[in-house]
Structure 1
Amino acid sequence: MDASPHDTDRISGTRSAGATAISTRTTGVPSAGTTRSTGAGTPSATGTQSVTRALSILRSFSPSCGGVTGPQIAERFGYSLPTAHRLLRALEAERFLVLDPVTRRYRPGPEFLRLSAVIVDRDGGVAPAFAALRRLRDRTGETATMFWRFADERTCVREVPSDHAHRVTPGVGRRYPLARGAAGLVLLLGEDERAVRDRLRNERPGLLADLSAARARGFAVTVGETIPGAVAVAAPVPGLRRGLVAISVVGPAQRFGPAEAEAVGGLVAEEARRLTATFRH
């Protein structure tokens, strides 16, 4: 399904004992330092590194994260403890983080709300997208989600959870590979077949055949690809830009057999077409 076996949840609301709330992706993140100008208004490499590190901290938050401490950030990202504290204090000063005086944990701050309000006010597609997910949840009884593509990953940017106690939730803010899960497949439909084959064929056996089937149906169905016992159905939303957005319905296989998946696929594709028309207008 659309979640990693090491992520929290994502069936029945239970959490894996080995789950981590903070992303551990540190590859290519350089050491932090002070910000300097190199002249002509160009920031130094050191200053850019500090910005990159601060953004990595912000991206590590998820709904299941109860806040972070300096030692946690230092350990997860390989920073020195003074560097971790310096970055956290800087983000707090700019209101991107707030510090709980009791637990001494940092949590997302009010600046996120302000920026979110800017996006909602500016982007006329946000409200229709949320409405589409609510309709899918209400019509299927399962969790409805939206994924955005970022390079060779996809991120869950919105979900409307199922009302069932036994449910699957990918988790807002969580990142997944494109080659796994229904949403990943449909985000690849707009790409050149040769480019997909050369770049991703080793990550998923039968990738091109799966893409061909999804293209013919207008949606993709995957079973247990990232969560054992879970089923995902997804369709692309090409109205913004082809290969950028997908919507998905995900649920446990006990309620989600082949017939149900086909029926849900039609509903998801219908909502994707409706969103596409909205974005184009």
Structure 2
Amino acid sequence: MSGAVIAARGAAPGQVQSLVRALHVLRAVAAAPDGLILRDVARGVGLPVSTAHRLLTTLESERFVRANPDTGAWTVGPEAFAVGQGFVRARDIAALARPRLRALMQRWSETASLYVEAEGGLVCVAQVESRQMMRAVARIGAVVGLHCTAAGKALLAALPAPERAAALATLDYPAHTARTLQDRAALAQALAETRARGWALDDEELVEGVRCAAAAILDHEGRPLAALSVSGPVGRVTPATLETLGAAVAATAAELSREMGWRGAAG
């Protein structure tokens, strides 16, 4: 039954049919604890056996599935596990961060958010909104740029120098406001300031009238896992309050880094 549903759905406009079919195949294999032989995979996704086999061997070449040489059953491979772990890490850090987000919002009366890197940008995965009438809000799941956000700068600044340089070389720098950093040199300078200060600043660079302070959360190896941010209208998040706000965000991010296993120096 599920195979008929999958087959009937096909690829929506704008989608790549072969990719959609491959994902259906991967989903079918993942749903079978003992694996599936080729014939059952094809039947489950409503495809010819030859097409299913071609998709399986392509997925196998990228280590997303593997075939048991004795039984012929296909099961998920290590790359599928690695991709799934990426989601688990994001989910776990979001659950861990939520009480801290709430505490930051209550202390500062501004929106506190958690971002992770995805698709060369940032995705907001958790947020506690300010109760103020005028407040900054990011849509959960929306992708925003690295160059124009405090969270993006925090993540970039926490990368090892060679990776940071490579990232800056490949980023696009679209302007969102008159204050958006629009070239590699300007962003590199901002990242140097971020590292020296211990927290990153978005000074009306993504949205006019909104300022944001952010700091990176590190994993057990000291690599940036996520970024914690507090954002609000410039009338309340003023230059006079930024230093204290940024330090509070950095201290909270350091606490979360320690909970994720990081034992090195902060910053």
- Normalised TM-score (structure 1): 0.58
Specify the alignment match of 1:132 in structure 2. Answer: 100
Q: Which has the larger radius of gyration?
A: 2
Given that residues 94 and 126 in structure 2 are in contact (C-alpha distance below 8 angstroms), is that contact kept between their aligned partners in structure 1?
Answer: no
Equivalent of 2:118 in 150, 173, 182: 150
Tell me, in whole angstroms, the C-alpha distance in 1 between the residues paired with 2:143 and 2:172.
20
Pairing 1:52-67 to 2, within 5 Å after superposition: none
Specify the alignment match of 1:237 in structure 2. Answer: 217
Tell me, in whole angstroms, the C-alpha distance in 2 between the residues paired with 1:147 and 1:250.
13
Specify the alignment match of 2:16 in structure 1. Answer: 30
Tell me, in whole angstroms, the C-alpha distance in 2 between the residues paired with 1:202 and 1:161.
28
The letter of the residue matching 2:228 is I
Tell me, in whole angstroms, the C-alpha distance in 2 between the residues paired with 1:154 and 1:128.
19
1:194 aligned to 2:141? no
Deviates more, 1:167-176 or 1:183-192: 183-192
Change (3 A) 1:214 1:45: same
Tell me, in whole angstroms, the C-alpha distance in 1 between the residues paired with 2:257 and 2:155.
14
Larger RCO: 1 or 2 (CA < 8 Å, sep 6+): 1
Given that residues 133 and 145 in structure 1 are in contact (C-alpha distance below 8 angstroms), is that contact kept between their aligned partners in structure 2?
Answer: yes
Tell me, in whole angstroms, the C-alpha distance in 2 between the residues paired with 1:31 and 1:248.
38
Change (3 A) 1:201 1:140: same
Specify the alignment match of 1:211 in structure 2. Answer: 191
Equivalent of 2:127 in 139, 145, 159: 159
Unaligned runs of 5+ residues in structure 2 are 1-11, 22-44, 60-83, 175-181, 263-267
Given that residues 211 and 237 in structure 2 are in contact (C-alpha distance below 8 angstroms), is that contact kept between their aligned partners in structure 1?
Answer: yes
Tell me, in whole angstroms, the C-alpha distance in 1 between the residues paired with 2:92 and 2:145.
28
Give the 3-state SS of the residue equivalent to 2:141 in structure 1.
Answer: coil
Given that residues 201 and 207 in structure 1 are in contact (C-alpha distance below 8 angstroms), is that contact kept between their aligned partners in structure 2?
Answer: no
Pairing 1:7-46 to 2, within 5 Å after superposition: 29-31=15-17, 35=45, 36=47, 37-38=49-50, 43=55
Unaligned runs of 5+ residues in structure 1 are 1-25, 48-114
Higher helix share goes to which structure?
Answer: 2
Give the 3-state SS of the residue equivalent to 2:135 in structure 1.
Answer: coil
Give the 3-state SS of the residue equivalent to 2:260 in structure 1.
Answer: helix
- Between the two proteins, what is the percent identity of the paired residues? 29
Q: Give how far 1:123 is off.
A: 6.7
Equivalent of 2:237 in 248, 256, 279: 256
Runs of 4+ in structure 1 off by over 6 angstroms are 44-47
The letter of the residue matching 1:222 is D
Q: Give how far 1:194 is off.
A: 2.7
Given that residues 239 and 279 in structure 1 are in contact (C-alpha distance below 8 angstroms), is that contact kept between their aligned partners in structure 2?
Answer: yes
The letter of the residue matching 2:55 is P
Change (3 A) 1:123 1:221: closer
Q: Give how far 1:145 is off.
A: 0.0
Aligned residues: 186
Tell me, in whole angstroms, the C-alpha distance in 1 between the residues paired with 2:119 and 2:134.
32
Give the 3-state SS of the residue equivalent to 2:16 in structure 1.
Answer: coil
Tell me, in whole angstroms, the C-alpha distance in 2 between the residues paired with 1:212 and 1:119.
31
Specify the alignment match of 1:52 in structure 2. Answer: none
Pairing 1:34-183 to 2, within 5 Å after superposition: 35=45, 36=47, 37-38=49-50, 43=55, 125-183=93-151
Tell me, in whole angstroms, the C-alpha distance in 2 between the residues paired with 1:212 and 1:139.
28
The RMSD of aligned alpha carbons is 3.4
The letter of the residue matching 2:190 is D
Q: Give how far 1:124 is off.
A: 5.8
Give the 3-state SS of the residue equivalent to 1:162 in structure 2.
Answer: coil
1:272 aligned to 2:263? no
Equivalent of 1:184 in 138, 152, 161: 152
Give the 3-state SS of the residue equivalent to 1:269 in structure 2.
Answer: helix
Q: Give how far 1:201 is off.
A: 7.2
Tell me, in whole angstroms, the C-alpha distance in 1 between the residues paired with 2:101 and 2:244.
16
Tell me, in whole angstroms, the C-alpha distance in 1 between the residues paired with 2:107 and 2:253.
15
